[in-house]
Amino acid sequence: MGKLGTPDLFPNPEGDLSLSPNGEWFVNGYKKGTTNYYAIYRRSDGAFLRSKGLDKGDYSGDIRIDPAPRWNRTNDAILIPGIAKNGTREMFVIRVVAARNK
């Protein structure tokens, strides 16, 4: 079975997770304060990147904004929730450009 990454890469490995449809990429969403971050890991060689932080606001309970990343069908983008600069809840896309080169 084994492990993916390290605690430095995945600070909250029980956070919101998603495996790409082709099984090559893994993303872990986690929060620090009122900011969500995403650690993206390529399973074939251990390459990874971490997203910039995205404001999740000060919501909690039933109206919280969980990291909840979701891959698209072509394995090159992740849909995530967050708070836009104007204060509204929005959906954002993280593009994983390297996925297109495989």
pLDDT in tens, the chain (102 residues): 677 778 788 887 777 889 999 999 999 998 888 888 999 999 999 899 999 988 888 877 777 778 889 999 999 999 999 888 898 889 999 999 864 444
pTM (predicted TM-score): 0.81
Where are the domains positioned within the chain?
16-101
Rounded CA-CA distance 28/11 in Å is 9
The conformation of residue 86, written as its DSSP 8-state character, comes to T
Q: Produce one character per residue of 49-64: b if its CB has 16 or more CB atoms within 10 Å, e if not.
A: ebbeebebeeeeeeee
Strands (E), 3-86: 16-19, 25-32, 35-42, 48-50, 54-55, 70-71, 77-83
- Report the C-alpha gap between 38 and 27 in whole angstroms: 7
